[in-house]
């Protein structure tokens, strides 16, 4: 971090311009040896990024990658996304060879807008071994309609829209589940039982439990013991799982006088 700041300050002085953008490519290299799922490692990354941004007055763009299931977003701890002002997901269409950026988070602004582009190779010259040194430039591609597309390309576009809608719904379901769980934390409880989550979320029971499973895999929710569930007077009580956030990430508890 200190080295990055020093290099940027020297460059700004030598070029007589202010450094406006720092690109971290990629996150996994930055935390070499660290754990993307660790709150300590990712918390340190966020703090260092904030220090660079505040010291230089520059924007910091971090390139990160999704896991095997792209619908679940970026890999690793959720606190990274929570600290992010703008998140842009770039996906690539295998048939059309175009890339589509989509804003998946924008603090205090709308998520409207979008475009597609293709990468064109360009030669910059030759390297010291006499081989061509190449890079690429982005050129806007027309993704506005299906005109001129093959049936396979139209199916890909339809699937992309479907996946985007599904991901948006998954995010809403996750927020719904966390709303219920956080309410229990604020009431001084370690978490919420499965039936409590099913009964108090706005989404269906199936979607609620699917959201719980995704949040568990991401490390956002953990199992917090067993809760008794009574089926009515005289009925035998059953035991079911309870879900809550890790202790260090739970919201503050309400005063005892207002707890349930």
What is the per-residue pLDDT for 251? 85
Q: How far is CA 119 from CA 48, 57, 75, 245, in A?
A: 32, 31, 25, 42
pLDDT in tens, the chain (260 residues): 889 999 999 999 998 998 999 999 989 888 888 898 888 898 999 999 999 999 999 999 999 988 777 777 788 888 888 889 899 988 887 766 788 888 888 887 777 666 788 888 888 888 888 888 999 888 877 644 454 456 776 677 677 777 777 888 888 899 999 999 999 999 999 999 999 999 999 999 999 999 999 999 989 999 998 777 655 555 455 778 899 999 888 887 755 443 34
For the chain, residues classed under CATH 1.10.10.10 are: 168-258
Cα separation of 187 and 195, whole Å? 17
Q: 168-258 in CATH: which number? A: 1.10.10.10
Q: How far is CA 247 from CA 44, 143, 182, 244, in A?
A: 18, 46, 12, 8
What is the per-residue pLDDT for 257? 42
What is the per-residue pLDDT for 215? 93
What is the per-residue pLDDT for 147? 46
């Amino acid at each position: 971090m200190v080295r990055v700041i020093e290099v940027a300050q020297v460059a700004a002085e030598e070029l007589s311009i202010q450094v406006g953008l720092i690109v971290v490519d990629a996150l996994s290299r930055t935390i070499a040896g660290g754990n993307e799922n660790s709150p300590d490692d990712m918390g340190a990354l966020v703090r260092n990024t904030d220090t660079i941004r505040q010291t230089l007055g520059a924007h910091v763009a971090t390139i990160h990658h999704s896991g095997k299931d792209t619908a679940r977003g970026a890999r690793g701890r959720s606190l990274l996304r929570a600290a992010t002002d703008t998140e842009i997901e770039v996906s690539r269409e295998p048939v059309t060879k175009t890339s589509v950026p989509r804003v998946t988070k924008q603090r205090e602004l709308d998520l409207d807008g979008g475009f597609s582009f293709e990468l064109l190779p360009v030669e910059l010259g030759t390297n010291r071994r006499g081989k061509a040194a190449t890079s690429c430039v982005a050129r806007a591609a027309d993704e506005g309609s299906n005109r001129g597309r093959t049936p396979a390309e139209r199916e890909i576009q339809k699937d992309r829209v479907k996946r985007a809608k599904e991901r948006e719904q998954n995010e809403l379901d996750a927020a719904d589940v966390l709303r219920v769980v956080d309410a229990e934390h604020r009431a001084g409880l370690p978490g919420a039982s499965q039936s409590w989550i099913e009964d108090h979320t706005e989404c269906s029971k199936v979607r609620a439990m699917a959201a719980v499973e995704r949040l568990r895999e991401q490390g956002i929710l953990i199992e917090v013991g067993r809760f008794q569930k009574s089926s009515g007077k005289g009925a035998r009580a059953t035991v079911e799982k309870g879900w809550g956030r890790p202790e260090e990430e739970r919201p503050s508890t309400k005063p005892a006088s207002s707890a349930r």
